[in-house]
Amino acid sequence: MQHLIVANIKERPIRALTSVAGVAVGVVLILVTVGLARGILRDTAQREKNVGAELIFQSSSGFGPGVSGPLMSLPLAYCERLSRIAGVQSVTPVGRYLRSGAGGIGFEFIEGVSDRAGPGYVAYAEITRVSVVEGHPIAADDEIMIDHRLAKDRKWAPGSAVELFDRRFRVAGIYEPEMGSRTKMRLSVLQELLVARGKCSYILVKCVDPNEQDIVARRILEDLPGNAVARTSDIPNFYDQGIPSLNIFLRVVVGLATVISALVILLAMYTTVTERTREIGILKSMGASKRFIVAVIEKEALYLSSIGLATGIGAAMLVQELISRFTSLIVEFEVKWMLISALVSLLGGILGALYPALRAARYDAAKALMEE
C-alpha cells in the first residue's frame, strides 16, 4: 500500500503541491494569527507589571486587562483618599488612551503621567523609577517620552516631530525601562485632549511594605467600596485568560483553517478518484476490499496533510522572523497552538478525503474497468 500511495503522489506532483500549499496556509493562519495576538498581549502585560507599584486601583466597572476597560473615568480625588490609608506609601494617577497600532495592526496605548506632584499624589517617576536615557524629561505640553523599542521601530529620536490627536508633538526623550505604554505625555494634556479634566484611568499604589500588599488591598476596598484593586504581579494572568472577543476571534480562525484544509483535500481527492476510476476497478477486481480502497485514499490524504503541516510550520517561523525583524510586534508560538494546528490540518485531511474515499469504495468493479 505504501508504494501505491507514493506512486499516486508522484504521478500528479502539481496537484500534490497544491494540496500541500492549501494545508500549509491553514497552519500559517492559525500559528501567526494566534501567535501575534498572544505575543502582543503578553508583551503588554509584562510592561504593565514593570511599573514599580504593588497595586493598581481602578473602578470595578472597567477592571481587567487594560485593553477592555473604560478610559479616563476615575476621579483624581481618589488619590488623596488612597494616600491616607494605612500601609500606602504613595500613589500616582495614570491616564490611558487606546488606539490601533502602526499600520492598523494590533493596538497601542498612549499614557498621560504626572511629571510633578499634585494633591495627594507624587510624580510618576517617583514610584516607577523611570529615567530618561536620551534627551530630557517632558518639560512642555507639546512633548512626549517614548521607549527604545518604539524609537527603533518608528525611527524616532529626541527632537522628532510626531502627530498625535491631530496635533504636533515633539519627542523630548527616550526612557528606560520599558513599562506601561510606549508613549507618554503629561496627564493634564491627555485630560484636555479627551475632555476628561480631573479624571484618570487608574491609580498606581506603592506600599510601605510590599509584603503587606494584600492587607493594604483589603483596607482600600473597605474604605473605598465599589472599586477594584489588583496586584501588578497578577496582571499577566489577566492577559493570559484572554479577552472574550479575542477568544471568539481565535476560535473562528481555527474553524476557518479547518475548513480550508478540508476543502483543499476534498477537491484534490475527489479529482484523483475521478481520474483513477479504472485503477480502482482493477484493484477491486483483484480482490481489494472497500476498507482497503478507503484506507489507500485516506492515507494519501494524511501524507499530503502531514507534508502541508511541516511546510506550514516552517513558513510560520519565517513569517515570525520577518515580523520580529521589521516591526516591533511580537509573535509567540505556543506548543498548545502548534498541537492544535497539527490536529486541524490532519483532521481536515481526513474529513476532506472521506467522501471521495467512500465514493471510490462503492464503485462497481465491472463498470469501473470500462472507464477510459
Mean pLDDT, range 257-282, rounded to an integer: 70
Q: Is the pLDDT of residue 322 over 50?
A: yes
Q: CB-based burial of residue 37 (10 Å sphere; 0-12 exposed, 13-18 middle, 19+ buried)?
A: buried
Q: Is the pLDDT of residue 54 over 50?
A: yes
Q: CB-based burial of residue 24 (10 Å sphere; 0-12 exposed, 13-18 middle, 19+ buried)?
A: buried
Residue with cell 502548534: 338
Q: Is the pLDDT of residue 201 over 50?
A: yes
Q: Is the pLDDT of residue 129 over 80?
A: yes
Which pLDDT band, with edges at 50, 70 and 90, does 363 fall under? low
Mean pLDDT, range 335-357, rounded to an integer: 83
Q: Is the pLDDT of residue 36 over 80?
A: yes
Least confident residue range of 2-6, 101-105, 253-257, 358-362: 101-105
Percent of all residues in the chain with a pLDDT value above 70, rounded to a whole number: 80
Which pLDDT band, with edges at 50, 70 and 90, does 343 fall under? confident
| Rounded distance between C-alpha atoms, residue 99 and residue 101, angstroms | 6
In the DSSP assignment, the letter for residue 121 is: B
Which of 48-62, 122-136, 249-263, 330-344 has the highest mean predicted lDDT (pLDDT)?
122-136
| Rounded distance between C-alpha atoms, residue 306 and residue 345, angstroms | 8
Where are the domains positioned within the chain?
Answer: 2-41+244-370, 47-239
Size of the chain, expressed as the number of residues it contains: 372
Residue 137: cis peptide before it, omega within 30 degrees of 0: no
Helix (H, G, I), strand (E, B) or coil at 172: strand
